[in-house]
Amino acid sequence: MTSTAQATAATDMVQLLTPDGELLSEGEYSPYLAEVDAERLRGFYRDMALTRRFDQEATALQRQGQLALWVPLRGQEAAQIGSGRATEARDYIFPTYREHGVALTRDVDFPQMLRIFRGISNGGWDPRENNFHMYTMVLAAQMPHATGYAMGIQRDQAGWDTERLAAEGTAVVAYFGDGSSSEGETHESMVFAASNQAPVVFFCQNNQWAISVPFEVQSRVPLAQRAAGYGFPGIRVDGNDILAVYAVTRWALEHARRGGGPVLIEAQTYRMSAHTTADDPTKYRTPVDEEPWVLKDPLIRLEKYLRAQGLVDDAFFAQLAVDGDEMAARVRREALAFPAPTLAQSFENVYAEAHPLIREELEFHRRYEAGFADADAMTADQQQGESR
Ligand SMILES: Cc1ncc(C[n+]2csc(CCOP(=O)(O)OP(=O)(O)O)c2C)c(N)n1
């Protein structure tokens, strides 16, 4: 597989499932589809549908004032579920802030993901439990982290032969967007990853927009083509085709694990919703821009294929809708029940160990709070007086 797959020209786009739901079986990455039986195919659809339902619920929670912000992913479900399901539990993932679908594939519980957006935690989940790092709001900051982590893995696995690497080796996936591809840190990470042959897959979701800036402004060439300049394979894949994304990512991870070095994957997709709930896309794009991508919806595409193959019936979708509503109700219930942190807790996770300056600031904060004790007592007296 390795040599032929590597030959894929960065400007070709790998597609295994057409927007009409027709399977193109004779591609160089098709052999990976042998791993995807009917049960897994239904699972892929279920993952995408639940992710979309979660996204819808979180958007509603933000609109109802229960989250400070939400980052919708509608349209990008195939890119995220396909790549996430291609990873092994031992692999390590560095997401941006939009990878809710990848999080599902790593078993991060959906309600936990809302803690940061509710402003009650600096993270929300323990990255060590699922090898799924915390969300990174600073564009491309996760890229050097991912390359550095991959270089660390190389040191841990020093002396392993190719066979052992292929069977037990670990790879890293760094998610990033088309806008983040313009950041210096992305370039530096790729240079270091190439120099070290580090086992890292750079997975770009080219959703065509960096807030209001269209992709054409970020690059004159397909992003996958840039990989040639660094000296590693670059693959352009239809990011709304879950089968192609799965197969290409499986190939890239195997390539990285067995010592072949980094791979850049550019998944062509589209952000169907706003950049965040603070954004209004009607200011910079029209329904005419969006229309072609509505027709390429990743869920509809897989549904067409599943139905044509007789792998699902109406009952499957009806049950999934019920499961989605139940999940959304649990997400809402648990998110609203999270205890609010005290201000003093903000001082807890600044350094791994106690730090004199932080302790001093905490003491100042306590004295400051104590300064309101009289005022609080007065207010309570007044309230009692009014009620008498
Ligand atoms: C270093 C840095 N610069 C600017 C921003 C503001 N910002 C947040 S998201 C964004 C656009 C990112 O676009 P892209 O990388 O394509 O990812 P997408 O949001 O489309 O998933 C910008 C400029 C930031 N968060 N960090």
What is the distance between the alpha carbons of residues 152 and 155, in angstroms, rounded to a whole number?
5
Residues 175, 205 contacting (CB under 8 angstroms): yes
Residues 298, 272 contacting (CB under 8 angstroms): no
Unique residue bearing structure tokens 């040639």: 228
Residues 137 and 267 in one domain: yes
Taking the centre of ligand 1 as the mean of its atom positions, its distance from the CA of residue 139, in whole angstroms, is: 5
**Residue 108, amino acid:** V
Residues 107 and 220 in one domain: yes
Q: Which atom of ligand 1 is nearest to the CA of 276?
A: 19
Q: Which two tokens stand for residue 220?
A: 């004159």
Domain count, the chain: 2
Residue 293: give its domain's CATH number: 3.40.50.970
What is the distance between the alpha carbons of residues 274 and 11, in angstroms, rounded to a whole number?
28
Residues 100 and 221 in one domain: yes
Q: Which residues line ligand 1 (CB under 6 A)?
A: 98, 137-139, 177-180, 207, 209-211, 271, 275
Could you tell me the CA-to-CA distances from 278 to 72, 196, 212, 247, 285 in Å, in that order? 11, 40, 12, 35, 16
pLDDT reported for residue 386: 59
Last residue of a domain, one of 297, 319, 337: 337
Strands 263-268 and 200-206: parallel
**Residue 251, amino acid:** W
Question: Is residue 2 predicted with pLDDT exceeding 60?
Answer: no
**Residue 98, amino acid:** R
pTM of the predicted model as reported, rounded to 2 decimal places: 0.92
Q: Which two tokens stand for residue 308?
A: 């044509």
Give pLDDT tens digits for 300-323: 999 999 999 999 999 999 999 999
**DSSP-derived secondary structure for 288-326:** HHHHHHHTT-HHHHHHHHHHHTT---HHHHHHHHHHHHH
Confidence band (pLDDT; 50, 70, 90) for 387? low
- Report the length, in residues, of the chain: 388
Residues 241 and 364 in one domain: no
Question: Is residue 385 predicted with pLDDT exceeding 90?
Answer: no
Residues 214 and 308 in one domain: yes
What is the distance between the alpha carbons of residues 380 and 375, in angstroms, rounded to a whole number?
9
Taking the centre of ligand 1 as the mean of its atom positions, its distance from the CA of residue 271, in whole angstroms, is: 13
Tell me which of 55, 211, 218 to substitute to probe ligand 1's pocket, judged by most ligand atoms within 8 Å of the beta carbon: 211
Residues 325 and 371 in one domain: no
Q: Tell the residue nearest (CA) to atom 3 of ligand 1.
A: 139
Taking the centre of ligand 1 as the mean of its atom positions, its distance from the CA of residue 313, in whole angstroms, is: 40
Q: Tell the residue nearest (CA) to atom 11 of ligand 1.
A: 210
Q: Tell the residue nearest (CA) to atom 12 of ligand 1.
A: 210
Tell me which of 96, 100, 139, 209 to substitute to probe ligand 1's pocket, judged by most ligand atoms within 8 Å of the beta carbon: 139
Residues 359 and 253 in one domain: no
Residues 197 and 71 in one domain: yes
Residues 252 and 166 in one domain: yes
The 8-class DSSP code of residue 157 comes to T
* Structural domain containing residue 350: 343-387
Q: Is the dihedral of CA 120, 95, 208, 81 positive or negative?
A: negative
Taking the centre of ligand 1 as the mean of its atom positions, its distance from the CA of residue 184, in whole angstroms, is: 13
Taking the centre of ligand 1 as the mean of its atom positions, its distance from the CA of residue 223, in whole angstroms, is: 17
Q: Tell the residue nearest (CA) to atom 20 of ligand 1.
A: 210
Taking the centre of ligand 1 as the mean of its atom positions, its distance from the CA of residue 178, in whole angstroms, is: 9
Please name which of 189, 243, 183, 282 lies closest in space to residue 18, comparing C-alpha atoms. 243
Q: Tell the residue nearest (CA) to atom 17 of ligand 1.
A: 177
Taking the centre of ligand 1 as the mean of its atom positions, its distance from the CA of residue 96, in whole angstroms, is: 9
Residues 293 and 353 in one domain: no
Taking the centre of ligand 1 as the mean of its atom positions, its distance from the CA of residue 180, in whole angstroms, is: 6
pLDDT reported for residue 384: 66
Average pLDDT, the chain: 94
Question: Is residue 1 predicted with pLDDT exceeding 60?
Answer: no
Unique residue bearing structure tokens 């959906």: 110
Residues 326 and 357 in one domain: no
Q: What is the mean pLDDT of residues 93-102?
A: 98
Strands 92-94 and 263-268: unpaired
Residues 149 and 231 in one domain: yes
